[in-house]
Amino acid sequence: MTMQVRTHSNVTHIDFLPIAELQERLPSKAVIVTDDIVTELWESPHRRIVVPAGEASKSLHSYSQVVEQILSLGIDRNTIIVALGGGVVGDLAGFVAATILRGVTFLQVPTTLLAMVDSSIGGKVGVDTPQGKNLVGAFKPADQVLICSEFLDQLPARQLTNGMAEVWKYGFIGDAPELNKLRAGQAPLTEIIFDCLDHKARVVEEDEFETSGLRATLNFGHTVGHAIEKVLGYETFLHGEAISIGMAAEARLGELLGITEAGTAEQVKIDLASAGLPVDWDGLRDFEPLIAAMRSDKKATGGKLAFSLLTRLGDCKLVRDVDDESVQAALTA
């Protein structure tokens, strides 16, 4: 299976292939950026930069270290940076590729379900800061994404469930047939990955730089989810788990605001729980630090909160100037 994502700045070629063919698809000039867990999963003769696994590596400090290590290799403009790992590695390596020598070729080899269905395409790369998630970065679409679903065979069950949060998100925001397919539980995983990538590709092609509000719909659940991650220091919950709690909370918020069709929040909660994902957290009742964290969200303007909210299952829109009282009510419901 293959597909392309065509934007005004780039064409990303996406290929599904067996892991046995991966070696021959990576050029000799490639420098692989990976983490200390993934590096044990696949051997190759290519030069490697290895960072500790986990969100802590998505930082300016790690970025600086990786850049210095790559520069010490004596690279040139023909060097290719390859991200081999999950979303953290992809975002970090992509930011390096966007900025080193003012930009070099970038390839993504996602090894987690979450990265395969979401972060490996679209071009958003960057790092976190103490002020919030993804606040320093760039748009750097990968020139190629190579998807080897066999990597998923080596994922812990919790990581697979974690990735399913983003899969369900696609169904909630704009793909009702995908919801039916997920509820039936019979679609092959490669088909689910392809469907999710096809959905995101269509959104990115129309709104690459998130100017029309369409691409912001991909952030359903993320305003609350990112706030949870920040308040907890990126510990306790995996990214998809935090987003799952965020989707349940933001569905409630949409209903409270009269934007979301009644009963939608309950169905979102049922669907996520059926996938083994968390839909609540006691810390939501301590709403003040969460709302403070939301103010650093990139969608917020002039101190006013913004959310990507469902109008119904299968449809979503960006809603600005949401008042704190409604957010508090949704978090504490």
Residues belonging to the active site:
102, 124, 166, 200, 210, 215, 219, 222, 226, 239
Beta bridge partners of 33: 49, 83
Q: Which residues contact 181 (CB under 8 A, 6 or more apart)?
A: 187, 192, 195
Helices (H) and strands (E) in the chain, counts: 12, 11
Among 239, 156, 218, 152, which Cα is nearest to 190's?
Answer: 152
Among 211, 152, 186, which Cα is nearest to 8's?
Answer: 211
Length of the chain: 333
Is the CB of residue 272 less than 8 Å from the CB of residue 244? yes
Strand 30-35, strand 47-51: pairing: parallel
Is the CB of residue 194 less than 8 Å from the CB of residue 3? yes
**The tokens 């969608």 sit on which residue?**
299
Report the sign of the C-alpha dihedral through residues 288, 292, 294, 299, in that order. Answer: positive
Please, what is the Cα angle at 309 between 306 and 314, to 5 degrees?
155
3-state secondary structure of 253: helix
**The tokens 């679409």 sit on which residue?**
141
CA atoms within 13 A on the CB side of 183: 12
In order, the DSSP letters of 161-220 are HHHHHHHHHHHHHH-HHHHHHHHHT-S-HHHHHHHHHHHHHHHHHH-TTS-SSTGGGGGT
